[in-house]
C-alpha cells in the first residue's frame, strides 16, 4: 500500500502555524533579553557606586570629577589625578597609549575587579568607548553622610513647575548616548546632558547613600530630538541650608563644595 504524503495545503497550514508561534514568541524573547541587559546594567552601576562608597570609607570623601583630573595653578594647588573615571587624569592625558582603559589611572582601580565592561550598559550603542555612567560634576569630594536633597522639575519646560525630590542624593547617572555622552566622553554629568531612557524608557541611578534605582526621566514626545520637556543636568538643584544651588557646572576650586555649599 503506497504511503500517503502531506498535501500542499497541510504544509502551508503547518508553516503558517510555525510563523504565528514565532511571531508570538519573538517579542517575549526580546523583552527577556532586555530584562537581562537591564539587570546587568544595574549591577554595573551598583559596582561603580560601591567602589566610590568603599573609597570614601578610607578617605572620608568620594573622588573627584572632570576638574580634579588635570594639574592646575593655585595656592594651595587643587587636587589632581582624582578624576573618578581616570579619563581626565593628568597621568592618562599625558600618555593615553600606555593604558588599556582610563580607569587604570583612577584611585578607584584598586576597589574594583573587572574594569572595562563594568562601565558599559549592554543595551548601549557603544558610541562612547568608555562610560555609560557619569558623575554629577559638582559633587566631587562629597562626604557620604550628607543629608542634603536634590530635586528636578516635574515639567522642565515650565519655570514654575513643582519640583520632585530624588530618593537620595544622585551620584552616578546612566547617561543618554545622544545628549551628550557621544560628544563628551569625560565621565561627567553636566550642562545639557540628559538621563538615559534606554531600558523601556528608563535608566539607572546610583545614589550617594549606596542605593540604586530605576529612574524615568521627564522627556518630550520624541527621543531623537531635544525638546523643552527633556530633563537635563542644568535642571537639577541641591537643597541645602534652606537654599537651592545648581549642580551642572564646577571649577578646579570646588573640590568638596557640596559639603559646604554657599
Structural domain contains residue 78 = yes
Mean pLDDT across 139-156? 97
CB distance 140 to 256 below 8 Å? yes
- Mean pLDDT in residue range 131-143: 97
26, part of any domain: no
Query: What are the b/e assignments for 131-146, b being 16+ CB within 10 Å?
Result: bbbbbbbbbbbbebeb
Rounded CA-CA distance 186/188 in Å is: 5
Residue 18 lies in a domain: no
3-state helix, strand, coil in the chain (%, to 5): 35, 15, 50
| Percent of the chain predicted with pLDDT > 90 | 69
> What's the pLDDT at 59?
96
Q: What's the average model confidence in pLDDT over 228-238? A: 98
Other residues' Cβ atoms within 10 Å of the Cβ of residue 247:
23
Question: Residue 15: which pLDDT band, with cuts at 50, 70 and 90?
Answer: confident
pTM recorded for the entire structure: 0.86
Q: Can you name the residues that pair with 84 across neighbouring β-strands?
A: none
Q: Is residue 134 part of a domain?
A: yes
In this predicted structure, what is the pLDDT of residue 124?
Answer: 81
Q: How many residues appear in the chain? A: 262
Sign for the CA dihedral angle at 147, 251, 194, 226 comes to positive
Identify whether 247 is part of a domain.
yes
Cα(first)–Cα(last) distance of the chain, in Å? 97
The C-alpha atoms of residue 86 and residue 186 are separated, in whole angstroms, by: 9
Lowest mean pLDDT among 154-158, 197-201, 209-213, 233-237: 197-201
* Residue 197 counted as domain residue: yes
Q: Give domain status of residue 24, yes or no.
A: no
Residue 212 has pLDDT above 80, yes or no: yes
Give per-residue pLDDT as tens, 61-79: 999 999 999 988 877 788 8
Report if residue 29 sits inside a domain. Answer: no
User: Into how many domains does the chain fold?
Assistant: 1
Q: What is the pLDDT of residue 5?
A: 57
Amino acid at each position: 500500500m503506497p504511503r500517503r504524503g502531506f498535501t500542499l495545503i497541510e504544509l502551508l497550514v503547518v508553516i503558517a502555524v510555525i510563523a504565528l508561534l514565532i511571531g508570538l514568541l519573538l517579542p517575549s524573547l526580546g523583552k527577556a533579553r532586555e530584562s537581562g541587559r537591564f539587570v546587568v546594567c544595574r549591577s554595573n552601576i551598583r559596582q561603580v557606586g560601591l567602589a566610590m562608597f568603599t573609597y570614601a570609607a578610607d578617605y572620608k570623601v568620594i573622588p573627584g570629577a572632570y576638574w580634579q583630573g588635570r594639574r592646575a595653578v593655585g595656592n594651595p594647588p587643587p587636587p589632581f589625578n582624582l578624576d573618578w573615571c581616570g579619563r581626565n587624569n593628568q597621568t592618562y592625558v599625558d600618555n593615553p597609549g600606555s593604558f588599556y582603559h582610563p580607569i587604570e589611572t583612577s584611585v578607584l582601580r584598586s576597589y574594583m575587579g573587572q574594569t572595562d565592561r563594568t562601565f558599559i550598559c549592554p543595551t548601549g550603542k557603544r558610541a562612547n568607548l568608555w562610560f555609560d555612567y557619569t558623575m554629577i560634576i559638582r559633587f566631587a569630594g562629597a562626604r557620604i553622610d550628607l543629608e542634603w536633597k536634590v530635586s528636578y522639575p516635574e515639567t522642565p519646560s515650565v519655570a514654575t513647575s513643582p519640583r520632585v525630590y530624588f530618593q537620595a542624593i544622585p551620584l552616578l547617572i546612566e547617561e543618554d548616548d545622544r545628549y551628550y555622552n557621544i560628544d563628551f566622553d569625560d565621565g561627567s554629568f553636566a550642562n545639557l546632558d540628559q538621563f538615559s531612557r534606554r531600558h523601556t524608557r528608563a535608566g539607572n541611578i546610583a545614589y550617594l547613600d549606596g542605593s540604586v534605582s530605576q529612574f524615568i526621566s521627564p522627556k518630550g514626545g520624541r527621543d531623537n530630538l531635544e525638546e523643552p520637556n527633556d530633563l537635563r543636568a542644568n535642571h537639577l538643584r541641591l537643597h541645602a541650608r534652606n537654599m537651592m544651588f545648581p549642580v551642572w557646572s564646577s571649577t578646579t576650586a570646588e573640590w568638596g563644595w557640596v559639603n559646604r555649599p554657599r
